């Protein structure tokens, strides 16, 4: 099977090569602004270099990719915003099937079978796609290949009338992360004896680059924190990479809200607390002793 891949981000492009190799030979499209990183491309059959097109030109990319795609069964794009913007347009131009944010892909009976999250992360859809297919691949699912020198072939830029004109581009200021989008969350429960003590959790969150959330009693009843940070079945459902639950027993209410977390750590003095059944790593210890030490050690690592 022949696969055409492209991403605005060279890092993601390398992941796409790896994903594409699960299906067959990969041709990676490289635009003029990416030319300097061509030698990082490993594992692709060939690199298609378009010296006349910048990756900022979305209309040009739709045209170019749609034109090249007639020689391929599958087009792989990245799941960043500009990648996703291309998927539907390219697919429709080709009369192809489409899917975004795909986490796995395989071929069965001449159809492409992909998996992707749907319903706000509550379900995984297994989708059967007819060929040709255009998909965007979830970030971080595939490791870039380390070997295999591709050949380089130049392709020419399309000449079309542009209807979208970029007039300005500026860096974004960094903003605070909402709880449900945070990658690292420290969740606090009733194990904290008073509001002021929550600073132990904030210090831990700071060193990890995470945010602090709370159980229902802390947020809704004691009002130590805003209700917006209440994690649970009727509060916010979170899906961080790392969740550290401190001083919370793990009532079912709360448990339902943390289900989607990747790695869960629990710190609680009560070894029988249900939270330990919902955790990957449990520390049966007084949070007032454990947290300062953990924060200090993390600081040492991050600082060094």
Partner 1 sequence: MADFDVIVVGAGPAGSVASYLLAKRGHTVLTVERGKRPGAKNMFGGRLYSWSLERIFPEFWKEAPVEREVTKEVLGFLHGERGVEIRLSTRPKGRSFTLLRAKFDQWLAEKAEDAGAEVISGFKVERPLIRDGRVVGIVAEGDEEMEAEVVIAADGALSFMAEKAGLRPKLSKEDFAVGAKEVIELPKEVIEDRFGLSEDEGAAQLYVGDLTEGVIGGGFIYTNKESVSLGVVMRIGSLASKVSEISTAMWEVTEKFKSHPMIRRYLEGGKLVEYSAHIIPETQFMRGVKLYTDGMVVVGDAAGFCVNYGVTVRGMDFAIESARAAAEAVHHALESGDTSARSLSKYQEILSSGMLREFETAKKAVDLMEDERLYSSIPKIAVETLEHLFLVDGKPKENLYSFLRKEFSEEGISLLSALLLGWKALRSM
Partner 2 sequence: MDIAVLVKQSLDVQELRVDQDTGKIYIEDAPTKAGDIELNATEEAVRLKEKLGGKAIAIMLSTGGASGKRQKEAREALTRVLAMGLDGAVLIMGEGAEKGDTYVIAKALAEEIRDKFGLVLAAEGSEDNFSGLLPARLAAELGWPYVAYATAIEVEGDHVKVTRSLEDFEEVVRVKFPAVISVTQEINKPRVPKLVEIVKAKKKPLDQKDFSPPVEPKLTIRELKVPKVERKQIVIEGDVEEAAEKLIQALKEEGVL
CA separation for the pair 293, 179 (Å, rounded): 25
Whole-number minimum distance, CB 215 to partner 1, in Å? 11
Span from 18-26, 174-182, 215-223, 238-246 in contact with partner 1 (CB under 8 A): 215-223
Span from 2-10, 38-46, 84-92, 248-256 in contact with partner 1 (CB under 8 A): 248-256
Written as six digits, the tokens of 33 are 């602004």
Whole-number minimum distance, CB 22 to partner 2, in Å? 18
Residue 4's region, left for phi above 0, alpha for psi from -120 to 50, else beta, is beta
CA separation for the pair 244, 36 (Å, rounded): 41
Nearer to partner 2, 21 or 116 (CB): 116
Asked if 138 touches partner 2 (CB under 8 A), the answer is: no
Q: Which partner from the list partner 2, partner 1, none does 124 bind, CB cut-off 5 to 8 Å by kind?
A: partner 2
Pairing status of strand 111-118 against strand 97-108:
antiparallel
Nearer to partner 2, 81 or 194 (CB): 81
Site for partner 2 in 110-129 (CB under 8 A): 113, 117-129
CA distances from 55 to 31, 58, 65, 128, 154 (A): 6, 7, 12, 30, 16
- The answer to whether residues 205 and 212 touch, using CB atoms and an 8 Å cutoff, is yes
CA separation for the pair 255, 249 (Å, rounded): 10
Nearer to partner 2, 25 or 277 (CB): 277
Nearer to partner 2, 153 or 297 (CB): 297
Count of chain residues binding partner 1 (CB under 8 A): 10
CA distances from 21 to 95, 136, 139, 142, 226 (A): 24, 15, 16, 10, 48
Q: Which partner from the list partner 2, partner 1, none does 263 bind, CB cut-off 5 to 8 Å by kind?
A: partner 2
Site for partner 1 in 220-239 (CB under 8 A): 220-223, 233-234
Residue 257: CB atoms within 10 Å: 25
Whole-number minimum distance, CB 208 to partner 2, in Å? 8
Whole-number minimum distance, CB 216 to partner 1, in Å? 9
What is the contact surface with partner 1 in residues (CB under 8 A)? 217, 220-223, 233-234, 251-253
């Amino acid at each position: 099977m022949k696969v055409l891949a492209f991403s605005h981000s060279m890092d993601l492009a390398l992941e796409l090569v790896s994903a594409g190799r699960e299906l067959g030979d990969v041709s990676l499209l490289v635009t003029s602004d990416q030319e300097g990183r061509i030698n990082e491309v490993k594992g692709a059959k060939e690199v298609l270099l378009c010296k006349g097109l910048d990756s900022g030109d979305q209309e040009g990319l739709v045209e170019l990719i749609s034109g090249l795609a007639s020689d391929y069964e599958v087009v792989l794009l990245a799941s960043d915003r500009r990648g996703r913007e291309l998927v539907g347009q390219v697919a429709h131009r080709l009369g192809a099937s489409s899917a975004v944010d795909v986490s796995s892909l395989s071929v069965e009976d001449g159809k492409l079978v992909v998996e992707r999250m749907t319903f706000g992360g509550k379900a995984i859809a297994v989708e059967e796609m007819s060929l040709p297919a255009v998909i965007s691949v979830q970030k971080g699912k595939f490791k870039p290949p380390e070997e295999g020198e591709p050949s380089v072939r130049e392709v020419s830029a399309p000449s079309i009338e542009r209807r979208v004109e970029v007039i300005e581009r500026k860096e974004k200021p960094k903003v605070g992360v909402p709880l449900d989008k945070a990658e690292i969350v420290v969740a606090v429960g009733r194990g904290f004896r008073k509001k002021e003590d929550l600073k132990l959790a904030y210090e831990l969150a700071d060193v990890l680059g995470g945010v602090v959330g709370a159980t229902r009693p802390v947020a809704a009843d004691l009002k130590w924190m805003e209700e917006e940070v209440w994690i649970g079945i009727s509060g916010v459902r979170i899906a961080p990479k790392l969740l550290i639950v401190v001083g919370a027993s793990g009532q079912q209410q709360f448990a339902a809200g943390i289900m989607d977390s990747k790695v869960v750590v629990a710190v609680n003095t009560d070894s029988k607390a249900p939270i330990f059944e919902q955790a990957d790593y449990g520390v049966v210890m007084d949070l007032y002793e454990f947290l300062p030490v953990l924060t200090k050690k993390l600081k040492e690592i991050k600082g060094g």
